[in-house]
Amino acid sequence: MPQFARRILCIGAGHVGGPTMSVIAARCPQYEVTVVDVNPERVRAWQSDDLPIYEPGLLEVVREARGRNLFFGTDVAAAIDRADVIFVSVNTPTKTFGEGAGKAPDLQYWEKTARTIVDASRANKIVVEKSTLPVRTAHAMERILNSNRKGIHFEVLSNPEFLAEGTAVRDLEAPDRVLVGSHETPEGAAARDVVVEIYANWVPRDRIITSNVWSAELSKLAANAFLAQRISSINSISALCEKTTADVAEVSRAIGMDERIGPRFLHSSVGFGGSCFKKDILNLVYICENYGLEEVARYWESVIRINEYQKRRFVQTMTHAMFDTVADKRIALFGFAFKKDTADTRESPAIAVARKLIEERAVVVVTDPKALANARADLADVPADRIVFEEDPYVAARGAHAIAILTEWDAYRTLDYRAIFDSMERPTFVFDGRNLLDAKALHAIGFNVFPIGKAALKHF
């Protein structure tokens, strides 16, 4: 058994815990890195080459370290006892019951983890919040951890994760910054140095920033709120562009070249999705309300409202364009993941679009290169005669009245749209919810094309 310089544990082998720990293990062979989860199926998948999540480049990283210094398991208590540093990366979904339902985070997994750590520990530990948590959660965690009667000290740090799904490996290998929040006490500073030292194995020192614990927690919520706000801002402008002769892509290019604004996250679409943006903004809103900051709460809530509006508007445009009825029309949804290069469909706008079309009695055909299994689960309650799942986009479009592009998969750019057009019903529609395709070229083939935030190109 090799001697490792440090024993690192991560509780929660999900979209964050799995990739983060795999990159740490690959970059730091001197550490033993263990990832545990209560879900045995997930753990088995991490132990195989059929990983439980899809991320470009992840399998290579896992293969490099797995069995050498990267281990996946289900024995949470034994792993806690062995570890010096414990990252906690369990899910923190929005509460669906009781006080704060629909807004506050559900911290039951978080608290259970804290109690498991107390029960299983026999020595001092550093506990690092990796999950995104409401401000001052570390305080609650410390109270539970340090109420133990064993005389063990737990130092709690906040190290929020800024990776984006679809680019997780790249984001982890070359992060814009790593943030470590700690208490301003000698114990806090010592624990902070341990975590900084882990990242310093491959991240330049000037990109590793430190702060107090509360700033670190709030920075993660604020970062997601600002990113989502940019999408809602440009989406609000897209609605105005459609009413005028402005083109949202031209507007976005013009404003993005202003260095103070910058070009990224200014792409108009059917709306943002993913497990984090909505839940984290709701967290922010809930905290603001708790502190009596009503105006601030309403300000951030409007980012979510515009997102809901954008999804609704997209389906209204579809229905209206197709002569105010989609009943019994076959509509092919190209893409179901909330963005390209992931199989994740949590909060994907495709879910809302599919459901609204089905309410309008359309027959929806879902195709996606990676996310069909998740799509099936998301729409499990839909009557079988209203929904079809199809891997091949050509087959999905066959006999359809319309295609809606809902995920910006690169593969959809290069399909043979003439062949697709020939196999579809007339008149034939494309609703491009990602402004992915060349609208003029599709129009020349014969499609009626409805991009976001631009004039429609019609044949009638």
Ligand X SMILES: NC(=O)c1ccc[n+]([C@@H]2O[C@H](COP(=O)([O-])OP(=O)(O)OC[C@H]3O[C@@H](n4cnc5c(N)ncnc54)[C@H](O)[C@@H]3O)[C@@H](O)[C@H]2O)c1
109 contacts ligand X (rule: CB under 6 A):
yes
Minimum Å gap between C-beta 148 and ligand X is 18
307 contacts ligand X (rule: CB under 6 A):
no
177 contacts ligand X (rule: CB under 6 A):
no
112 contacts ligand X (rule: CB under 6 A):
yes
Give the residue nearest to ligand X (CB): 14
Tokens matching residue 20: 């983060």
Stated as kind and residue range, the H or E segment containing 142 is: helix 137-145
Give how many residues touch ligand X by CB under 6 A: 27
Compare residues 39 and 316 and give the one whose CB is closer to ligand X: 39
| Touching ligand X, residues 320-359 (CB under 6 A) | none
Q: Are strands 85-88 and 429-432 parallel, antiparallel or unpaired?
A: unpaired
161 contacts ligand X (rule: CB under 6 A):
yes
Angstrom distance (rounded) from CA 264 to CA 176: 14
Compare residues 107 and 191 and give the one whose CB is closer to ligand X: 107
216 contacts ligand X (rule: CB under 6 A):
no
Tokens matching residue 149: 């009667």
Check if the beta carbon of residue 400 is closer than 8 Å to that of residue 427. no
Within 13 Å of residue 404, how many CA atoms lie on the same side as its CB? 33
> What residues act catalytically?
276
Q: Look up residue 204 and give its amino acid.
A: P
Minimum Å gap between C-beta 288 and ligand X is 18
Minimum Å gap between C-beta 14 and ligand X is 2
From the list 161-169, 172-180, 189-197, 320-328, the region that binds ligand X by CB under 6 A is: 161-169
Minimum Å gap between C-beta 69 and ligand X is 21
132 contacts ligand X (rule: CB under 6 A):
yes
Compare residues 92 and 367 and give the one whose CB is closer to ligand X: 92
Among 5, 30, 39, 262, binds ligand X (CB under 6 A): 39
Among 11, 79, 402, 442, binds ligand X (CB under 6 A): 11
155 contacts ligand X (rule: CB under 6 A):
no
Residue ranges in 146-274 assigned as alpha helix (H): 168-173, 186-199, 213-243, 248-256
Minimum Å gap between C-beta 17 and ligand X is 6
Angstrom distance (rounded) from CA 27 to CA 20: 11
118 contacts ligand X (rule: CB under 6 A):
no
Helix (H, G, I), strand (E, B) or coil at 291: coil
If we measure between CA atoms, which residue out of 179, 181, 269 comes closest to residue 232? Answer: 269
Compare residues 111 and 301 and give the one whose CB is closer to ligand X: 111
DSSP conformation class of 412? G
Angstrom distance (rounded) from CA 313 to CA 299: 21
Angstrom distance (rounded) from CA 117 to CA 90: 13
Among 127, 163, 332, 375, binds ligand X (CB under 6 A): 163
Minimum Å gap between C-beta 90 and ligand X is 4
Among 9, 14, 175, 332, binds ligand X (CB under 6 A): 14
Among 114, 127, 203, 276, binds ligand X (CB under 6 A): 276
278 contacts ligand X (rule: CB under 6 A):
no
Q: Which residues lie below 8 Å from residue 186, measured CB to CB, with a gap of 6+? A: none
217 contacts ligand X (rule: CB under 6 A):
no
Q: Which residues lie below 8 Å from residue 98, measured CB to CB, with a gap of 6+? A: none
If we measure between CA atoms, which residue out of 2, 441, 28, 413 comes closest to residue 199? Answer: 28
120 contacts ligand X (rule: CB under 6 A):
no
Phi, psi of 4 (to 5 degrees): -100, 150
Tokens matching residue 356: 């609204």
| Touching ligand X, residues 69-88 (CB under 6 A) | 76
If we measure between CA atoms, which residue out of 57, 229, 195, 182 comes closest to residue 237? Answer: 229
Stated as kind and residue range, the H or E segment containing 402 is: strand 402-405
16 contacts ligand X (rule: CB under 6 A):
yes
Residues forming contacts to ligand X in the complex (CB under 6 A) are: 11-17, 36-39, 42, 76, 89-92, 109, 112-113, 131-132, 161, 163, 165, 275-276
